């Protein structure tokens, strides 16, 4: 197969965000769309997420990750998206020139009218949580273990301790149990779960796997391979509580201590990164500060659900297609959206009120502190309340979504900025 050196749109990454963006761009009039993927097949991390739980929003079905990906892969091929697989993008410039390299296709230079960044996210490591102890084999991120167990077909240990109650960690606890391994313990430094409650029920409770909140790893023991870990209870400030140490024999420590958007290519291109989300500043069409460079999915902020990644990709693809066909549109006014009380961040960072004419605008946020009681999610312009939505509770592990309705057009237009807050009802 040969590839052109010019495309209307190039998408970096073929995970759910990239696939949705490519399909949506094509359906919205982009002529030729190329997806560049570093792996030898499209689908991204979904291919190793063989557990179910995907597609409840988009398909109203409970699908495994590969099945969810397959539907979009099939659709992408149907609508005529090109795929450049086993290829790594080395650089993207402000004016949309892409340099990539591949064992199959050699060195490639491609000019695009628009680029969608869909590189997803990576896992935080033991260094980032400053985990002390020895450095033997047997300390892996949950995602690396997941790839081995589910894709490569090998078990990276017999007895596991998992640090972090992120979704991947809990899902791996069940997966490893399914394949005959023993999960000794899941430790979480926070006083609350960092993943979804349903994963706690289905993955840990169902298999009697013990979860200890406010616990962490104080020491990793082992010369060549992990022999044990020393667990310890912590206070609210993560200080070890003396006397609570416990040696847990195990041969593997899995880390599920958070995900970080992967934005090194974005930075090189001059895309501005929000230090809170670690993803680009975006408008409601997921365009970054660089005209014609869009971003979709976990590269923007880490979502709880793949369905929302898909929806973000659909919006980004549509915006990119519009830009390709009509050129850059003059915006009369851009409205900043700020995180208010008890909101850690909100996406998008800005919005174009004129887009409300076409339909509602999705606004997503993460709460700072958990509130286990009914709350209001409130949108204000200055002091004035524009919109509020009730939620039964607010948890940091679960993203909150609201929609700004077209009826708010005039008020949003008149605003100097919007702020979003979450407070007890």
Partner 1 sequence: MKTYDIIIIGGGVVGCMTARALSRYNLKVLMIEQESDIGMGASSANSAIIHSGHDPMPGTLKAEMNRLANPMWDQLISELGIPFKRSGAYIVAIGEEEFGCLAALSERARQNSVKTEVINANEMRKKEPLINPAVSGALFTPSAGMVDPFSACVAPLENAIQNGVKVMTDTEFISFITNGRRIVGVHTNRGDFTCRWVVNAAGIYSDEIMHTAGVRPDFKINPRRGEYYILDKTEIEMNNILFPVPSKVSKGILVLGSTHGNVLVGPNTQQTPDKEDKSVTGDGLNEIWQGAQKLIPSLNQRAIIAVFAGLRATGNALCTSSKVDYHHDFVIEVAKEVEGLVNLAGIESPGLTAAPAIAERVVELLKDAGELLTKKQDWNPIRLARPRFNYMTRKEQEELVARDAHYGRIVCRCEMVTEGEIVAEIHAPLPAKTYDAIKRRTWLGTGRCLGSFDMPRVVEILSSELGISVSEVSKKGTGSEFLFRPTKEVDA
Partner 2 sequence: MPTIEEKVVCVTCPKGCTLQVTRDVQTVLKVGNGCKRGYEYARQELTDPRRMVASSVRITGALHPLLPVYTSAPFPKPRIPELLAILRMVEVKTPVTLDQTILEDVLGTGINIHASRDMSKIT
In whole angstroms, give the CA distance from residue 276 to residue 347.
11
CB 128 within 8 A of CB 307: no
Query: Which chain residues interact with partner 2 by CB under 8 A?
Result: 40-41, 43, 47, 50-53, 56, 62-67, 69-71, 74, 150-153, 178-179, 196-198, 200-202, 206, 304-305, 392, 398
- Contacts with partner 1: how many residues (CB under 8 A)? 52
126 makes contact with partner 1 (CB under 8 A) = yes
In whole angstroms, give the CA distance from residue 258 to residue 165.
9
Tokens of 129: 């949580």
In whole angstroms, give the CA distance from residue 147 to residue 139.
14
Residues 173-202 that bind partner 1 (CB under 8 A): 179-180
Would you say 63 or 139 has its CB closer to partner 2?
Answer: 63
Closest CA to 1 of 78, 74, 102, 94: 102
105 makes contact with partner 1 (CB under 8 A) = yes
294 makes contact with partner 1 (CB under 8 A) = no
CA atoms in the 13 A half-sphere facing the CB of 346 = 27
Q: How far is the CB of 304 from partner 1 (least distance, A)?
A: 21
122 makes contact with partner 1 (CB under 8 A) = yes
Q: How far is the CB of 199 from partner 2 (least distance, A)?
A: 8
- Pick the stretch among 11-19, 70-78, 151-159, 339-347 that binds partner 1 (CB under 8 A): 151-159
Would you say 180 or 392 has its CB closer to partner 1?
Answer: 180
Residues 129-148 that bind partner 1 (CB under 8 A): 130, 132-137, 140-141, 143-144, 147-148
Task: Using DSSP, state whether 181 is helix, strand or coil.
Answer: coil
- DSSP output for 198-242: HHIIIIIGGGT--EEETEEEEEEE-SSB--EEEEEEB-TT--B-T
> Which of partner 2, partner 1, none does residue 276 bind (CB under 5 to 8 Å by kind)?
none
Would you say 48 or 381 has its CB closer to partner 2?
Answer: 48
Give start and end residues of each alpha helix (H) in 299-425.
Answer: 306-326, 409-414
> Which of partner 1, partner 2, none does residue 66 bind (CB under 5 to 8 Å by kind)?
partner 2
């Amino acid at each position: 197969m040969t590839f052109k050196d010019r495309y209307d749109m190039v998408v970096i990454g073929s995970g759910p965000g990239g696939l949705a963006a490519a399909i949506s761009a094509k359906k919205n009039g982009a002529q030729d769309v190329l997806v560049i993927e570093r792996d030898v097949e499209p689908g991204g991390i979904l291919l190793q997420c063989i557990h179910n739980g995907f597609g409840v929003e988009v398909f109203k079905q409970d699908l495994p990750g590969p099945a969810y990906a397959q539907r979009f892969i099939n659709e992408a091929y149907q609508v005529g998206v090109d795929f450049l697989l086993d290829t790594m993008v080395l650089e993207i410039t402000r004016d949309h020139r892409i340099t990539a390299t591949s064992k199959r296709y050699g060195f490639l230079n491609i000019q695009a009218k628009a680029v969608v960044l869909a590189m997803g996210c990576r896992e935080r490591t033991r260094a980032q949580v400053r985990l002390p102890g020895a450095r033997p084999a047997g300390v892996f991120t949950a995602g690396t273990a997941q790839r081995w167990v589910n894709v490569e077909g090998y078990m990276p240990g017999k007895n596991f301790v998992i640090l972090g109650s992120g979704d991947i960690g809990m899902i791996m606890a069940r997966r490893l149990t399914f394949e005959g391994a023993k999960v000794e313990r899941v430790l979480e430094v926070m006083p609350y779960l960092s993943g979804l409650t349903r994963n706690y029920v289905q993955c840990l409770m169902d298999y009697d796997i013990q979860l200890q909140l406010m616990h962490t790893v104080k020491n990793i023991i082992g010369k060549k391979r992990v022999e044990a870990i020393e667990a310890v209870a912590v206070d609210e400030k993560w200080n070890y509580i003396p006397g609570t140490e416990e040696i847990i024999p195990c041969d593997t420590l899995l880390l599920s201590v958070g995900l970080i958007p992967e934005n090194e290519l974005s930075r090189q291109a001059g895309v501005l990164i929000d230090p809170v989300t670690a993803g680009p500043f975006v408008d409601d069409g997921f365009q970054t500060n660089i005209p014609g460079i869009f971003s979709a999915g976990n590269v923007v902020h880490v979502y709880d659900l793949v369905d929302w990644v898909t929806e973000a990709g659909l919006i980004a693809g549509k915006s990119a297609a519009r830009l390709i066909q009509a050129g850059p549109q003059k915006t009369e006014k851009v409205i900043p959206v700020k995180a208010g009380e008890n909101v850690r961040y909100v996406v998008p960072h800005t919005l174009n009120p004129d887009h409300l004419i076409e339909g509602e605008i999705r606004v997503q946020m993460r709460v700072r502190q958990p509130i286990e009681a009914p709350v209001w999610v409130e949108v204000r312009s200055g002091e004035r309340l524009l919109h509020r939505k009730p939620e039964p509770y607010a948890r940091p592990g679960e993203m909150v979504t609201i929609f700004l309705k077209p009826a708010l057009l005039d008020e949003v237009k008149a605003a100097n900025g919007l702020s979003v807050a979450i407070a007890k009802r």
